[in-house]
Structure 1
């Protein structure tokens, strides 16, 4: 079965989870999400945050991705802080966690700047800010690679990079 058919089946089955979606809207969400690298995550964002939007279009999907990224970055920050506060965590790992915490703070700032740039139709700044956010999560991963330690935040970082990748694709749709 082709991935696009599987996606359509998933959307049809999940329509009961989409209180805002009409039969036409499901197709529109799938169509917009097909322009992203991680269509399933795009649809997941629409299911998770869509009830807050009267209209689901590329702009609202971008806002949902940024909101979800912000929320999940906050969760990753709490996890990092918890590991850093654990007395059994080694000094090297604590230092790497400190890098991650700094990067997560920078991500919050650049997500806000990226949102403002999209609102101002500034494609260059939006692209720069969102691309920088991806690099922050990657830098967190690199901090652990440098000390040859497993990153306890690797799954969160991977999810976050995928969400921002989708946000970049959605911003491009809006700003074309």
Structure 2
């Protein structure tokens, strides 16, 4: 009977787990300590990355491109406020292009073709519209210089303080302005600005006409009508050649 009772007691003890002291449950095992002591400490870079999170991608440049495109559209949306583009000689003709051009054919675009051909005789090599314009302007400059010399001699012969002296002095003033315009037109031609060239030639022609208007109003013939007329015709030819080159896209 005791052996049987003992087996019952032994079985009951085996089924009931024995209490584990709390200090044993909290105490880490030597194995865990050994494993933990072998790990390397985290670096400062790792700690910073863990605190701040993953790196952010760089900002996109797309918004800046959109803003720049919008500004360009706004600036280009007011063509009326912008100055008209300057026309230029885009194509060289004649000797510069390796071909020969007939001066008479080019001069046919002018109102005074014979005077144009006469001015072209001083051109070396083959003629071109640009060379013909330069020759006409140079001839006009010589004519206006001759008119200035003629006016200077006339003013010495007239009486002081009368109307004739005033008219000659007016011619001397406009001749100075016309000469400056013709010289500036040569510079405009050299840099290829047809727009400035045409404006300066038109201004020179208007100055020359002013000299003769005073005599016309008084019913008198201008003593400077011949050089004035030749200067006006030469400037007109240069202007016609410049306009023809614009129409041809040159």
TM-score normalised according to structure 1 size: 0.77
Q: Give the unaligned 5+ runs of structure 1.
A: 1-23
Say which one has the larger Rg: 2
- Once the two structures are superposed, what CA deviation does each residue of 1:86-126 show, in whole Å capped at 9, x if it has no partner? 14587211111111111111111111222222233322221
One of 103, 111, 118 as aligned partner of 1:29: 103
Q: Output aligned runs, 1:5-154, within 5 Å.
A: 28-47=102-121, 49-50=122-123, 53-87=124-158, 91-154=162-225
Aligned to 1:18: none
Aligned structure 1 segments of 4 or more residues deviating by more than 6 angstroms: none
> SS of the counterpart of 2:102?
helix
Q: Distance in 2 between matches of 1:39 and 1:87?
A: 37
Deviation at 1:147, TM superposition (A): 3.0
Contact 1:35-1:170 at 8 Å conserved across structures: yes
Q: Distance in 2 between matches of 1:121 and 1:172?
A: 13
- Once the two structures are superposed, what CA deviation does each residue of 1:126-151 show, in whole Å capped at 9, x if it has no partner? 11110011101110011212333221
Contact 1:118-1:171 at 8 Å conserved across structures: no
- Coordinate RMSD, CA, aligned: 2.1
Q: Distance in 2 between matches of 1:56 and 1:90?
A: 49
Higher helix share: 1
Contact 1:36-1:166 at 8 Å conserved across structures: yes
- Once the two structures are superposed, what CA deviation does each residue of 1:7-33 show, in whole Å capped at 9, x if it has no partner? xxxxxxxxxxxxxxxxx96x7111111
User: Larger relative contact order (C-alpha < 8 A, sep ≥ 6)?
Assistant: 1
